[in-house]
């Protein structure tokens, strides 16, 4: 029942495991497909991010180039020039204001009385001022040359700065390459850390697996030792079980035989008891009919005839028929006792018969004719041995009278014929038929009950009881022996079963340990491959990290140099812009001062000339003063208009300057927007780099998960094929077994495994073995019944064959014995030879002794005969067999080689006798034997030739 339950649990558990394995394999394959899709998406994302990074790098470089280009615009130069023009316009306005003031002052001086003196003073003053202006102009020339040289140097430096900026804009890839290398390096280092952690875990797992294999190997060695020990114990146990089984079979056979003997003894006791009871009843009945009970106390009463005679076995019915009514009569000692007995019967009114001994009677005789056809009954009936000699003699005389003339024949038909032929004779049969002068009667009148028969029956009852007691003792002993043999066999069988259980458990544990070892070995190979692959991958990553670490300093140096260069370029650009503004301011101041000094010089020169002319000619000066006043007034008007013109131009310049300042402001705003866009682009680039790192990390995680899922899938498929012997497709196609409400497949598997553990050690083949043993039991029962039937049939056949063998052997022996005796007498005239059975009562096991006595010798052993005599004796036996069982032909090979001439003549005479009825083929070297033959066949060989057959027929003898 446990095995059947175990089998049901195993079937359900197998179905659930197949379903769960199929679902796991399907989920793993779906997971692999999803991971493959994620891997493709990650690859596409990485490619897109790389493209985006390239685009952002291009935008950064374009923005930087645009900033550089915006830094190279001429708004600043124009702004400087406009500011210079404004300052110049302001200077001109100031000069015009000063000129107008001077002309107004001159116009006032022309109206003053002390004009000459003032003119002289003005001439001296103007000459001093002119000298100072000339000194100032001569001091401006070196400043102009220095400013020109500075402007030329600035132009050269500005051109170089522009080239450097353009070159730096084209070489901005160092920062992006450094950022990409740093991102890849971070990803590789994080991946390396995870890979090293995974490698350490795999190495730890590998060490655990190796330790497990060592434990399994030691367990395998121990289990193999247990299996070998169980196997070494099994052979002696099997031999002991076989011996115990033989002992048990022998004990069962003995018990069965003793039981059969006991049953036979019991049946014999029952038969003899029944016979004894029947005889006792018959005797009691006979005694009652004869009145023996009434006559028991009388003197001279010997008993009934049944009590006083003994009848041979098988002759009871014939003797009873021969004695007739006398068998039931009471026998008394003499006629006086008979008279007293009759008187007693008469007085008691009891019927009865009395026979007196000592009465003179004549013995009945049987004619020779009757004796020739039958056997006298008298020889098989006698007085009881317990009687004294006198009574026994009188009883014998009485028996002569009663059965002396009775003869037993075979059947009633023959009895009728004999009775008709001999009317005075009493003819009886074995069945109790009686044919005499008193009439013919068929069937026995009694039951063969005599005192002797009763005594024999009682003795047989005692013997049967003793035999039954012995049989009971033997049966108890045999049963005890059988029980001990069965107990011994059971103990040995239990030991053998326990040894088989130990061997099976050890074998199962060995197979399980070997399977676990193979599984661990396979897992070690998988883990070793994973470790090797991980080590190789980590080595590649370390080499890549080393390469990147080697590249990082150079890239960082390039990046720092690029940043320093960019900073230097910015500082240089600021310095150049500052130098440009300073140079512009210096140029403007120089031009304003130069223009003011030249204008002052011209003014002073004109004033000096005018003053000198006024001093040279006063008259003329007055006229000219008037003219001069007019000219001054016109000049004043011109200066006023010129001042208005300069103011209008100054206003226009200031408007242009405001426009330039607005353009400069807008340009600054554009630059700030460009800087903002550049910063945003750089931030987007950094975000893209970070996203690329995350994408690469996710791709690596996907690869790790894919490798793990693939390994789990391979392990699940291998486990499915190894443990369940099923392909994954069949497991995936398996449907979920029927489960109870609210019960999951995994929970049911745990319940089944728990129930299997609770069942304990179960032989999973017990049910199959039980069915096989039950089938074998039915088969063996049928075979046993067939064997019993066959045994009974064979017993009958063996009995029939034994009977046939005995019959055939007896007949053959009788014929061969007679023929041997006659042939021995023929071959040994005057001698006597015969065949004797060593055990005539057992023809199946008897041997045959040959007794040979040649004439004049008293020898009984063949070894004491001469060689020729032994040969003739053997020939006599051989031809006796031939004569008893004739054959169409006989073949003999040099049987007469040891015979002398006399014995050879006797042998040839025997051959002559047998050749009339059969063909004889004799191989011989005797010449006389050859002469006696009808045909001679010989083989000769010529020298150097082949053998040749020679044939010669002797027609004369034919």
DSSP per-residue string spanning 794-859: HHHHHHHHHHHHHHHHHHHHHHHHHHHHHHHHHHSTT-EEEEEES-TT-TTT--EEEEEE-TT---
* Backbone dihedral angles phi then psi of residue 642, each to the nearest 5 degrees: -65, -40
* Cβ–Cβ under 8 Å, residues 292 and 327: no
Sequence-distant (≥ 6) Cβ neighbours of residue 370 within 8 angstroms: 407, 418, 422, 425, 427
Sequence-distant (≥ 6) Cβ neighbours of residue 454 within 8 angstroms: 276, 279, 280, 283
* Backbone dihedral angles phi then psi of residue 763, each to the nearest 5 degrees: -80, 110
Q: Is the pLDDT of residue 444 over 50?
A: yes
How many other CB atoms sit within 10 Å of the CB of residue 794?
Answer: 12
φ/ψ bin of 816: left (φ > 0), alpha (ψ from -120 to 50), beta (otherwise): alpha
Average pLDDT value for the chain: 75
pLDDT at position 891: 92
Q: The tokens 């769960």 sit on which residue?
A: 20
Exposed/middle/buried for residue 398 (C-beta within 10 Å: 0-12, 13-18, 19+)? buried
pLDDT at position 109: 57
pLDDT at position 958: 31
- Cα(119)–Cα(614) distance, rounded to whole angstroms? 7
Q: Is the pLDDT of residue 931 over 80?
A: yes
Mean pLDDT of 859-877: 79
- Cα(679)–Cα(673) distance, rounded to whole angstroms? 10
Strands 301-304 and 330-332: antiparallel
Per-residue pLDDT tens digits for 674-700? 778 878 888 888 888 888 888 888 888
The first and second tokens of residue 309, run together, are 């005679």
Strands 381-383 and 947-953: unpaired
Q: Is the pLDDT of residue 435 over 80?
A: no
Per-residue pLDDT tens digits for 606-625? 777 777 776 665 555 556 66
pLDDT at position 577: 65
- Cα(328)–Cα(449) distance, rounded to whole angstroms? 10
The first and second tokens of residue 550, run together, are 């080697």
- Among 42-46, 359-363, 769-773, where is mean pLDDT lowest? 359-363
pLDDT at position 117: 57
- Cα(194)–Cα(43) distance, rounded to whole angstroms? 21
* Cβ–Cβ under 8 Å, residues 918 and 886: yes
* Cβ–Cβ under 8 Å, residues 68 and 166: yes
pLDDT at position 550: 77
The half-sphere exposure of 867 on its side-chain side, counting CA atoms within 13 A, is 6
Q: Is the pLDDT of residue 112 over 50?
A: no
* Cβ–Cβ under 8 Å, residues 541 and 188: yes
* Cβ–Cβ under 8 Å, residues 219 and 471: no
The half-sphere exposure of 516 on its side-chain side, counting CA atoms within 13 A, is 17
Mean pLDDT of 409-426: 73
Q: Is the pLDDT of residue 72 over 50?
A: no
pLDDT band at 113 (very low <50, low <70, confident <90, very high): very low
Q: Which residue has the higher pLDDT, 441 or 718?
A: 718
- Cα(610)–Cα(597) distance, rounded to whole angstroms? 19
Q: Which residue has the higher pLDDT, 162 or 738?
A: 738
The half-sphere exposure of 253 on its side-chain side, counting CA atoms within 13 A, is 6
pLDDT band at 826 (very low <50, low <70, confident <90, very high): confident
How many other CB atoms sit within 10 Å of the CB of residue 183?
Answer: 18
pLDDT band at 656 (very low <50, low <70, confident <90, very high): confident
- Cα(178)–Cα(548) distance, rounded to whole angstroms? 10
Quick one: which of 507, 518, 534 has its CA closest to 212? 518
Mean pLDDT of 730-746: 78
- Cα(319)–Cα(305) distance, rounded to whole angstroms? 12
Element spanning 382, H or E: strand 381-383
How many other CB atoms sit within 10 Å of the CB of residue 263?
Answer: 13
DSSP per-residue string spanning 616-673: H-HHHHHHHHHHHHHHHHHHHHHHHHHHHHHHHHHHHHHHHHHHHHHHHHHHHHHHHH
* Cβ–Cβ under 8 Å, residues 492 and 247: no
For the ranges 239-253, 320-334, 430-444, the maximum mean pLDDT occurs at: 239-253
Q: How far is CA 126 from CA 101, 130, 600, 701, in A?
A: 16, 6, 10, 96
pLDDT at position 477: 84
Mean pLDDT of 397-411: 74
DSSP per-residue string spanning 209-244: HHHHHHHHHHHHHHHHHHHHHHHHHHHHHHHHHHHH
Q: What is the 3-state secondary structure (H, E, C) of 292-326?
A: HHHHCCCCCEEEEHHHHEEECCCCHHHHHHHHHHH
Q: Is the pLDDT of residue 920 over 80?
A: yes
- Cα(217)–Cα(201) distance, rounded to whole angstroms? 24
Quick one: which of 520, 713, 653 has its CA closest to 21? 713
pLDDT band at 164 (very low <50, low <70, confident <90, very high): low
For the ranges 369-378, 441-450, 752-761, the maximum mean pLDDT occurs at: 752-761
Mean pLDDT of 883-903: 86
Mean pLDDT of 795-823: 87
% residues pLDDT > 90 (the chain): 0
Q: Is the pLDDT of residue 957 over 50?
A: no
* Cβ–Cβ under 8 Å, residues 168 and 580: no
Q: Assign 381 to helix, strand or coil.
A: strand
Mean pLDDT of 246-271: 76
Q: Is the pLDDT of residue 445 over 70?
A: no
Q: Which residue has the higher pLDDT, 764 or 516?
A: 516
Rounded to the nearest angstrom, the gap between the alpha carbon of residue 148 and the centroid of all alpha carbons in its chain is 104
Per-residue pLDDT tens digits for 179-200? 667 667 777 777 777 778 878 8
Quick one: which of 750, 711, 216, 713 has its CA closest to 721? 713
Q: Is the pLDDT of residue 777 over 60?
A: yes
Q: The tokens 């220095």 sit on which residue?
A: 146
Rounded to the nearest angstrom, the gap between the alpha carbon of residue 616 and the centroid of all alpha carbons in its chain is 148
* Backbone dihedral angles phi then psi of residue 387, each to the nearest 5 degrees: -75, 155
Strands 935-941 and 947-953: antiparallel
- Among 283-292, 506-515, 827-836, 931-940, where is mean pLDDT lowest? 283-292
* Cβ–Cβ under 8 Å, residues 303 and 352: no
Q: Which residue has the higher pLDDT, 21 or 308?
A: 21
* Cβ–Cβ under 8 Å, residues 712 and 28: yes
């Amino acid at each position: 029942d446990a095995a059947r339950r175990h089998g049901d649990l195993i079937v359900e558990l197998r179905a659930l495991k197949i379903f769960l394995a199929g679902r796991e394999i399907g989920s793993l394959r779906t997971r692999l497909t999803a991971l493959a899709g994620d891997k493709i998406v990650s690859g596409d994302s990485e490619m897109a991010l790389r493209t985006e990074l390239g685009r952002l790098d291009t935008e950064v470089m374009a923005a930087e180039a645009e900033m550089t280009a915006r830094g190279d615009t001429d708004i600043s130069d124009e702004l400087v020039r406009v500011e210079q023009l404004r300052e110049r316009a302001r200077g001109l306005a100031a000069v015009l204001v000063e000129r107008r003031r001077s002309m107004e002052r001159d116009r006032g001086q022309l109206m003053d009385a002390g004009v000459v003196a003032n003119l002289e003073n003005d001439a001296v003053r103007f000459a001093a001022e002119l000298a100072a202006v000339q000194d100032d102009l001569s001091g401006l020339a070196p400043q102009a040359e220095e400013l020109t040289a500075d402007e030329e140097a600035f132009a050269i430096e500005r051109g170089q700065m522009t080239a450097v900026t353009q070159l730096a804009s084209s070489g901005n890839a160092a920062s992006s390459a450094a950022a990409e290398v740093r991102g890849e390096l971070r990803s590789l280092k994080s991946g390396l850390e995870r890979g090293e952690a995974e490698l350490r875990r795999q190495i730890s797992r590998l060490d655990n697996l190796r330790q497990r294999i060592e434990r399994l190997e030691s367990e395998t060695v121990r289990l193999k030792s247990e299996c070998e020990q169980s196997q070494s114990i099994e052979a002696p146990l099997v031999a002991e079980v076989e011996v115990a089984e033989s002992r048990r079979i022998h004990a069962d056979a003995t018990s069965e035989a003793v039981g059969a003997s006991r049953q036979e003894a019991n049946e014999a006791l029952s038969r003899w008891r029944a016979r004894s009871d029947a005889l006792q009843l018959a005797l009691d009945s006979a005694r009652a009919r004869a009145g023996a009970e009434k006559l028991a106390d009388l003197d001279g009463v010997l008993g009934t005839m049944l009590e006083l005679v003994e009848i041979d076995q098988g002759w009871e019915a014939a003797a009873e028929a021969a004695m007739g009514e006398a068998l039931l009569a009471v026998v008394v000692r003499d006629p006086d006792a008979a008279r007293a007995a009759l008187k007693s019967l008469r007085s008691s009114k009891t019927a009865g018969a009395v026979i007196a001994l000592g009465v003179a009677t004549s013995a009945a005789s049987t004619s020779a004719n009757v004796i020739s056809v039958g056997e006298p009954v008298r020889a098989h009936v006698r007085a009881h041995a317990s009687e004294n000699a006198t009574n026994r003699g009188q009883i014998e005389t009485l028996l002569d009278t009663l059965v002396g003339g009775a003869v037993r024949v075979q059947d009633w038909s023959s009895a009728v014929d004999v009775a008709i032929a001999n009317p005075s004779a009493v003819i009886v049969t074995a069945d109790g038929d009686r044919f005499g002068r008193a009439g013919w009667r068929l069937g026995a009148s009694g039951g063969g009950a005599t005192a002797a028969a009763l005594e024999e029956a009682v003795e047989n009852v005692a013997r049967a009881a003793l035999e039954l007691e012995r049989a009971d003792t033997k049966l108890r002993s045999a049963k005890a022996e059988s029980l001990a043999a069965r107990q011994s066999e059971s103990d040995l069988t239990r030991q053998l079963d326990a040894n088989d259980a130990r061997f099976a458990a050890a074998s199962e544990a060995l197979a399980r340990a070997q399977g676990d070892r193979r599984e661990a070995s396979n897992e070690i190979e998988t883990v070793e491959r994973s470790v090797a692959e991980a080590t190789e991958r980590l080595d590649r990553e370390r080499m890549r990290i080393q390469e990147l670490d080697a590249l990082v300093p150079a890239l960082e140096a390039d990046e720092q140099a690029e940043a320093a260069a960019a900073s230097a370029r910015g500082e240089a650009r600021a310095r150049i812009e500052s130098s440009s503004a300073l140079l512009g301011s210096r140029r403007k101041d120089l031009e304003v001062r130069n223009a003011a000094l030249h204008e002052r010089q011209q003014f002073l020169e004109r004033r000096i000339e005018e003053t000198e002319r006024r001093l040279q000619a006063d008259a003329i000066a007055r006229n000219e003063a008037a003219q001069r006043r007019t000219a001054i007034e016109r000049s004043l008007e011109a200066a006023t208009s010129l001042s208005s013109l300069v103011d209008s131009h100054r206003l226009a310049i200031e408007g242009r300057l405001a426009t330039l300042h607005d353009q400069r402001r807008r340009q600054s705003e554009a630059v700030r927007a460009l800087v903002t866009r550049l910063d945003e682009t750089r931030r987007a680039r950094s975000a893209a780099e970070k996203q690329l790192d995350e994408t690469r990390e996710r791709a690596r995680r996907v690869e790790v998960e894919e490798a793990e899922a693939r390994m789990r899938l391979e392990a699940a498929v291998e486990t499915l094929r190894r443990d369940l012997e099923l392909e994954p497709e069949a497991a995936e196609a398996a449907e979920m077994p029927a489960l109870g409400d609210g019960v999951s497949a995994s929970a049911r598997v745990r319940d089944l495994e728990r129930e299997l553990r609770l069942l304990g050690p179960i032989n999973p083949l017990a049910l199959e073995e039980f069915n096989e043993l039950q089938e074998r039991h039915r088969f063996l029962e049928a075979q046993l019944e067939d064997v019993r039937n066959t045994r009974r049939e064979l017993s009958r056949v063996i009995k029939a064959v034994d009977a046939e063998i005995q019959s055939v052997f007896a007949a053959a022996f009788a014929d061969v014995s007679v023929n041997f005796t006659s042939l021995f007498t023929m071959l040994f005239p005057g001698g006597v030879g015969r065949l004797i059975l060593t055990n005539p009562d057992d023809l199946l096991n008897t041997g045959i002794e040959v007794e040979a006595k040649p004439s004049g010798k008293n020898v009984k052993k063949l070894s004491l005969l001469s060689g020729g005599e032994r040969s003739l004796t053997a020939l006599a036996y051989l031809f006796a067999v031939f004569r008893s069982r004739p054959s169409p032909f006989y073949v003999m090979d040099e049987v007469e080689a040891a015979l002398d001439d006399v014995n050879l003549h006797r042998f040839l005479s025997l051959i002559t006798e047998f050749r009339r009825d059969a063909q004889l083929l004799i191989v011989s070297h005797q010449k006389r034997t050859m002469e006696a033959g009808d045909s001679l066949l010989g083989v000769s060989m010529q020298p150097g030739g082949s053998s040749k057959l020679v044939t010669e027929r002797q027609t004369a003898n034919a």
